[in-house]
Structure 1
Amino acid sequence: MSGVSGIGGAGSVEQIISLRQQIIDRSSLLKEIHQAKAAEGTAPAEPAGGGFADTLKSALDGVNATQTKASELSAGYERGEVTDIASVMLARQEAGVAFEATLQVRNKLLSAYQDIMRMGV
């Protein structure tokens, strides 16, 4: 899984959508595996791809790389090294979208955690 990386405007939005779909697909696959194991009476096995934590870490690393690239381009423009303002603005917008997507994922995770904590045993 590549995460969210690189400068590309519409391509990065497609990467975010693709990452979201991969998470949904993996979640449904894990749910199916869990149901099959529960029917057999055994405990579910660890996912082969490294699990949710690794997926989340790679996505956060991609967002960090995107923000770092945007910061470097902005600093280069301020120093006069980069003359293409369109690429600077595109990089900043991509970093903003990646951050907003990460923030929304965090909000959903926090909401899910709070819902779980409110459940009765």
Structure 2
Amino acid sequence: MDIKATALLSEMQALKGEAQQLAPVTTPGPQQDFSTLLNQAVNKVNGLQQSTDGLRTRFELGDDTVSLEQVMIAAQKSSLAFDATVQVRNKVVDAYKTIMNMPV
């Protein structure tokens, strides 16, 4: 199997651009609440996982328009997004436990 370096490089550059857009941390305005942001994040992770499953299925069925590189990159994207979501959930649970254990 021959890996196309230019396709891989362009995909890595696209990921770099996406990461740079996410890098600046901005505080949400009063019109956005945490539950809405969390819901959007979970929906995005779900969408990434579903698109990865679709690509994987198409590749397994022999679709020539889907390369192994695309499948692996999509799988890594969804895996990273899921791991990040789990970490956020863990931090929220820890914060909740800390607040609940505070003396009144």
Shorter-chain TM-score tier: 0.7 to 0.9
Q: Which runs of 5+ in 1 are unaligned?
A: 1-7, 30-46
CA pair 100-16 structure 1, distance change in 2 beyond 3 A: farther
CA pair 71-117 structure 1, distance change in 2 beyond 3 A: same
Count of aligned pairs: 90
Instruction: Normalising by structure 2, report the TM-score.
Output: 0.75
1:63 aligned partner: 45
Report the Cα distance in structure 2 between the residues aligned to 1:15 and 1:63, rounded to whole angstroms. 17
1:74 aligned partner: 56
Instruction: Normalising by structure 1, report the TM-score.
Output: 0.66
What is the DSSP-based 3-state SS (H/G/I as helix, E as strand, rest coil) of the residue aligned with 2:31? Answer: coil
Query: In the TM superposition, what is the alpha-carbon distance from 1:88 to its structure 2 partner?
Result: 0.5
Percent identity over the alignment? Answer: 34
Pair 1:85 & 2:91 matched:
no
Q: Which runs of 5+ in 2 are unaligned?
A: 1-13
Q: Which has the higher contact order (CA 8 A, sep 6+)?
A: 1
